[in-house]
C-alpha cells in the first residue's frame, strides 16, 4: 500500500551507510543494514513509484520531475568500500542507479576521518560503558580542559540522564550515545574532539587492513561514475558539528573536496550532501560560492535551521526508519 498520491510529483530520498550480508571481521560490530533488507526496500520503492535509473541526469531527476507521482532516489554516504563492493553490483542487478556522497580525506595518505574513527571505536572495540570511561580518561590526559568541563563529561549517571531529551529526532540512540554526542557537539570543539578520538584510535585500533576494508578508493569512485551512478560532494574532513568549524574553514574544506573530486572524476559534481546534516549560514554561502545546484540534508533534522531554497535543503529518510506504509514517512517527502 502506498501513501503517496499517484499524480502529484514528490521526491523521497533514502539515506544509506553500511550495507552487508556478512560484514568483514574487522568491521563486524559496526551497525549495518542487511543486504537482503536493502534489496527488499528497492523492490518496495519500485512498486510504489519510479526509482532513479540514470535515464535522466540526477539534477533533472531531483529538480524537474519527469514523472507523475512519487519518485525515489537511493543515496549512500561516506566513501565506504561496501558501496562499491556490495551496493553497486546489487543496484546493477536491480537496474537502478545510486547517488554516492564522497568525502575525500581518506584519499590523502591513508587517513581516517574523525567521524569513522569515532564510529569504529564506539562500536567495535569496547562495550559502550567502557568506551565512555576510556574516552573520559583520554580527554583528561590529552586535552587542556577546565575542571568545570571535565565534570560535565564525566560518565556518571546524573550526567547521562541529563541528556535523555537531547536529539529527540534520533529515536534509535541510547542515553549513553546522547551523552557522548552532547560532549562532542556542546562541550568539546572540533579540534579537541579530533585529538582525543585520534589518540584513542591509534592506541586501540589495529589499522593494518582497516583502511582498505572501510573506504573506497579513487578508482572505485571512477568505476561508479563510469557505471552511470552519480557522485556527490560531501566535504573533505567531514566535520560532525559546526562547533569549531566555521567561517572560511567551511568554504576551504568544500573547495578542497571539489578539487579532489574534479581531479579524480574529470568533472565537479553539482550536488552536495551536508556532512552530518549540518546546515548553517556558512554552508549556505559556501555552497553557493562553490557553484552547487542542490544539497541533501540528513534526515529531517538540522543543527541550525536557515532559510535556503528547497533545492539546497532536500530531506532524506534514514534506511533504518524507512517504511513506505507509515504515516511518519510523510515528514521526509520533498514536494519538488
Ligand atoms: Zn556523512
pLDDT tens-digit profile of 26-38?
888 888 999 999 9
Band of pLDDT at residue 149, cut at 50, 70 and 90: very high
Please tell me the predicted confidence (pLDDT) of residue 1: 55
Domain 10-110+214-335 in CATH 3.20.20.370? The answer is yes
**Average confidence score pLDDT of the chain:** 91
With 80 as the cut, is the pLDDT of residue 62 above it?
A: yes
Sketch the domain layout of the chain as residue ranges. 10-110+214-335, 114-210
Asked if residue 115 lies in contact with residue 78, where contact means CB atoms within 8 angstroms, the answer is yes
Please tell me the predicted confidence (pLDDT) of residue 226: 97
Mean pLDDT value of segment 227-242:
92
Ligand 1 centroid from CA 237, angstroms: 10
Ligand 1 centroid from CA 118, angstroms: 13
Ligand 1 centroid from CA 168, angstroms: 20
Q: Which pTM was predicted?
A: 0.89
* Cβ neighbours, 10 Å, residue 142: 14
Q: Among candidates 143, 119, 8, 12, which has minimal Cα distance to 68?
A: 8
Band of pLDDT at residue 287, cut at 50, 70 and 90: very high
Band of pLDDT at residue 2, cut at 50, 70 and 90: low
Ligand 1 centroid from CA 276, angstroms: 5
With 70 as the cut, is the pLDDT of residue 213 above it?
A: yes
Mean pLDDT value of segment 130-154:
94
Burial (Cβ within 10 Å: 0-12, 13-18, ≥19) of residue 121: buried
Ligand 1 centroid from CA 303, angstroms: 14
Amino acid at each position: 500500500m502506498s501513501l503517496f498520491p499517484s499524480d502529484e510529483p514528490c521526491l523521497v530520498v533514502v539515506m544509506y551507510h553500511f550495507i552487508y550480508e556478512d560484514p568483514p571481521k574487522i568491521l563486524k560490530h559496526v551497525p549495518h543494514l542487511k543486504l537482503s533488507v536493502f534489496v527488499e526496500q528497492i523492490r518496495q520503492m519500485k512498486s510504489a513509484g519510479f526509482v532513479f535509473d540514470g535515464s535522466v541526469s540526477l539534477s533533472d531527476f531531483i529538480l524537474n520531475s519527469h514523472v507523475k507521482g512519487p519518485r525515489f532516489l537511493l543515496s549512500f554516504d561516506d566513501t565506504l568500500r561496501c558501496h562499491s563492493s556490495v551496493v553497486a553490483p546489487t543496484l546493477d542487478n536491480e537496474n537502478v542507479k545510486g547517488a554516492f556522497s564522497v568525502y575525500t580525506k581518506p584519499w590523502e595518505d591513508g587517513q581516517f576521518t574523525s567521524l569513522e574513527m569515532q564510529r569504529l571505536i564506539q562500536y567495535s572495540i569496547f562495550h559502550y560503558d567502557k568506551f565512555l570511561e576510556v574516552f573520559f580518561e583520554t580527554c583528561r590526559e590529552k586535552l587542556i580542559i577546565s575542571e568545570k568541563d571535565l565534570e560535565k563529561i564525566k560518565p556518571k549517571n546524573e550526567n547521562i540522564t541529563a541528556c535523555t531529551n537531547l536529539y529527540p529526532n534520533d529515536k534509535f540512540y541510547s542515553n549513553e550515545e546522547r551523552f557522548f554526542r552532547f560532549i562532542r557537539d556542546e562541550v568539546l570543539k572540533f579540534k579537541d574532539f579530533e585529538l582525543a578520538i585520534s589518540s584513542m584510535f591509534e592506541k586501540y585500533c589495529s589499522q593494518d587492513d582497516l583502511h582498505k576494508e572501510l573506504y573506497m578508493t579513487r578508482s572505485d569512485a571512477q568505476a561508479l561514475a563510469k557505471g552511470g551512478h552519480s557522485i556527490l560532494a560531501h566535504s573533505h574532513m567531514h566535520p560532525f558539528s559546526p562547533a569549531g568549524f566555521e567561517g572560511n574553514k567551511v568554504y576551504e574544506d568544500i573547495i578542497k573536496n571539489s578539487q579532489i573530486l574534479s581531479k579524480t572524476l574529470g568533472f565537479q559534481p553539482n550536488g552536495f550532501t551536508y556532512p552530518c546534516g549540518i546546515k548553517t549560514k556558512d554552508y549556505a554561502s559556501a555552497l553557493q560560492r562553490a557553484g552547487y545546484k542542490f544539497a541533501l540534508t540528513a534526515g529531517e533534522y538540522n543543527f541550525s535551521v536557515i532559510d535556503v531554497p528547497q533545492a539546497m535543503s532536500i530531506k532524506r529518510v534514514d534506511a533504518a526508519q524507512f517504511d513506505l506504509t507509515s504515516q511518519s514517512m510523510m515528514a521526509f517527502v520533498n514536494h519538488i
